[in-house]
């Protein structure tokens, strides 16, 4: 008998399916109200529009829409994205845009192009573990930076950078979901963004700003992107059409300095030759039709209602001692239970009661967060959210018993 494991590379021996991935599987059980997956809601998919666009594309340019395309992405879409970025204060041209298969591929590319083994990567903790997974393949050292209601603790970062500098070290890059953070839902303040950019300039590291939720805001315009404050070219911006349009097309992008985009494109060529041209053409046509200016406001309205239902349900049902964030946009609410409670233990009870979530510990670099929970409100109906939160809070109440609870912070 051959043991096929023997053929695996060292890095593959360490690869394991993520907690979130496992939690997603629960969504397959129709009985369970799952707050696990942060998927956009399929009820908002513009089916009619897509059908019209595909008909139009197949009538006008099937030889482009269905053929291999440029590795960098189709030129038209690159220019459209550059315009979009420019309208949000990031002046750039099409050759500063690389189209990727969602932001996840962008993360993999960034690891490949920028990370040597042993390079230091900083990220929020709790933070988006998909980024960790992608960058991990390139064997950097990760270090977490805490966050609070105003996002990444840039003051803590500044201290740590000074310490590192005194040892002659500096990070290669810092990864952040600054706006409507995954998993906590918080947003980095403008003051901290400015400070962060100054720190990157001072200590010469790259900022990778992953910004998939920016357009899904609920209370007036969100603060400007970090990239819009960047005059040194140290910020690499990741955008995505997955949350504001259709994840199944796999269209995201990178905006960065031209020389970086060129190198990322060369790396991308050996990864997949090119992304889905059909997907890119659908997005490009939707932009040309002015579809997003109608669609995105409707999305904001709908997701806000869901958030509101989740927050009011929590207020109504949550036992004392449980606290949570109040996101101004995005898909997630973050729950913190009293210290002595374990979200993993409670999860099996919750599933028994037909409600599911992702344990917050999976988002922590340092093994912390045992008493935290990520709830996504994006995919369920308002009725499901109400009922799901009720079920969850029942389980939490049972676990709390009549015992005394401490005071906790929401993040």
Among 278, 341, 343, 358, binds its own copies (CB under 8 A): 278
The answer to the question of residue 119 lying near its own copies (CB under 8 A) is: yes
63 lines the binding site for its own copies (CB under 8 A): yes
Q: Which two tokens stand for residue 305?
A: 């209602």
**Helix and strand numbers, DSSP H then E, in the chain:** 14, 15
Judged by CB under 8 A, which stretch of 91-99, 103-111, 324-332, 385-393 contacts its own copies? 103-111
7 binds its own copies (CB under 8 A): yes
Gap between the Cα atoms of 173 and 206, Å rounded: 4
Residue closer to its own copies (CB basis): 5 or 87: 5
Pair 147, 338: CB distance under 8 Å: no
- φ, ψ (nearest 5 deg) of residue 406: -85, 180
User: Segment 335-354, which members bind its own copies (CB under 8 A)?
Assistant: none
How many angstroms separate the CA atoms of 305 and 214, rounded? 17
Indicate the length of the chain as a whole number: 411
CB 35 within 8 A of CB 357: yes
Q: Are 80 and 284 within 8 A, CB to CB? A: yes
Q: Which of 23, 26, 102, 215 binds its own copies (CB under 8 A)?
A: 102
Q: Alpha-carbon distance 105 to 115, whole Å?
A: 15
Q: In the stretch 9-28, what mask flags binding to its own copies with x, by CB under 8 A? A: xxxx--xxxx--x-------
User: Mask 177-216, x = binds its own copies (CB under 8 A)?
Assistant: ---------------------------x-x----------
Pick left, alpha or beta for residue 204 (phi over 0 → left; psi -120 to 50 → alpha; otherwise beta).
left
Q: For the segment 373-392, give every residue that binds its own copies (CB under 8 A).
A: none
How far CA 90 is from CA of 81, 82, 177, 225, in Å, comes to 11, 8, 17, 8
Kindly tell me which residue out of 30, 87, 221, 270 binds its own copies, with binding defined by CB under 8 A. 270
19, 69, 73, 182: residue in contact with its own copies (rule CB under 8 A) = 69
Q: Which of 87, 116, 166, 293 binds its own copies (CB under 8 A)?
A: 116
The DSSP code for 117 is T
CA 307/CA 311 separation, integer angstroms: 6
Of 22, 29, 67, 156, the residue at the interface with its own copies (CB under 8 A) is 67
**In this complex, which beta carbon is closest to its own copies, that of residue 30 or of residue 407?**
30
Among candidate residues 124, 121, 123, 18, the one with its CA nearest the CA of residue 411: 124
The residue within the footprint of its own copies, chosen from 26, 34, 108, 210 (CB under 8 A), is 108
Q: Which is nearer to its own copies, 280 or 313 (CB)?
A: 280
Note whether 279 binds its own copies by CB under 8 A: yes
Q: Which of 34, 80, 96, 101 binds its own copies (CB under 8 A)?
A: 101
66 binds its own copies (CB under 8 A): yes
Q: How far is the CB of 340 from its own copies (least distance, A)?
A: 33
Nearer to its own copies among residue 274 and residue 311 (C-beta) = 274
Per DSSP, helices labelled H in 172-318 are 190-203, 258-272, 277-288, 291-317
Q: Are 187 and 178 in contact (CB under 8 A)?
A: yes
| Sign of the alpha-carbon dihedral angle for 144, 146, 147, 153 | negative
Q: Which two tokens stand for residue 245?
A: 């349009």
Q: Which residue number, 259 or 312, has a Cβ lying nearer to its own copies?
A: 259
Contacts (CB under 8 A) with its own copies, residues 216-255: 232-234, 242, 246-250
- For its own copies (CB under 8 A), the number of binding residues is 81
């Amino acid at each position: 008998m051959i043991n096929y494991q023997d053929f695996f590379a060292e890095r593959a021996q360490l690869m394991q399916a993520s907690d979130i991935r496992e939690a997603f599987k629960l969504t397959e059980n129709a009985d369970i109200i799952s707050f696990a997956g942060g998927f956009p809601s399929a009820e908002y998919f513009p089916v009619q529009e897509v059908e019209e666009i595909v008909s139009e594309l197949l009538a006008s340019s099937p030889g482009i829409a269905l053929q291999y395309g440029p590795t960098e992405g189709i030129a038209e879409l690159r220019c459209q994205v550059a315009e979009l970025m420019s309208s949000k204060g990031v002046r750039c041209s099409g050759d500063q845009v690389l189209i990727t298969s969602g932001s996840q591929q962008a993360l993999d590319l960034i690891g490949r192009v920028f990370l040597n083994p042993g390079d230091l990567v900083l990220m929020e903790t709790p933070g988006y573990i998909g980024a960790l997974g992608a960058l991990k393949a390139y064997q950097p050292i990760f270090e977490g930076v805490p966050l609070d209601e105003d996002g990444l603790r840039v003051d803590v970062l500044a201290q740590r950078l000074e310490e590192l500098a005194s040892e002659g070290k500096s990070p290669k890059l810092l990864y952040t979901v600054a706006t409507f953070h995954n998993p906590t839902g918080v947003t980095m303040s403008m003051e901290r963004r400015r400070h962060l950019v100054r720190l990157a300039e001072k200590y010469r590291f790259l900022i990778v700003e992953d910004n998939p939720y920016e357009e899904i805001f609920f209370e007036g315009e969100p603060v400007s992107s970090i990239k819009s404050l960047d005059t040194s070219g140290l910020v690499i911006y990741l955008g995505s059409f997955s949350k504001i349009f259709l994840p199944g097309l796999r269209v995201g992008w990178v905006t960065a300095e031209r020389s970086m985009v060129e190198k990322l494109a060369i790396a991308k060529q050996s990864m997949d030759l090119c992304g889905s041209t059909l997907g890119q053409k659908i997005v490009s046509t939707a932009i040309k039709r002015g579809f997003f200016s109608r669609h995105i406001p409707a999305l904001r309205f709908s997701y806000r209602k869901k958030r509101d239902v989740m927050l009011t349900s929590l207020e109504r049902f949550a036992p004392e001692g449980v606290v949570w964030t109040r996101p101004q946009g995005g898909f997630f609410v973050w729950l913190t239970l009293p210290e002595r409670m374990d979200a993993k233990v409670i999860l099996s009870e919750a599933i028994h009661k037909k409600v599911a979530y992702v344990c917050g510990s999976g988002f922590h670099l340092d093994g912390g967060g045992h008493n935290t929970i990520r709830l996504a409100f994006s995919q369920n109906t308002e009725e499901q959210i109400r009922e799901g939160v009720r079920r969850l809070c029942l389980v939490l109440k049972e676990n709390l018993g009549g015992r005394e609870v401490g005071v906790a912070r929401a993040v």
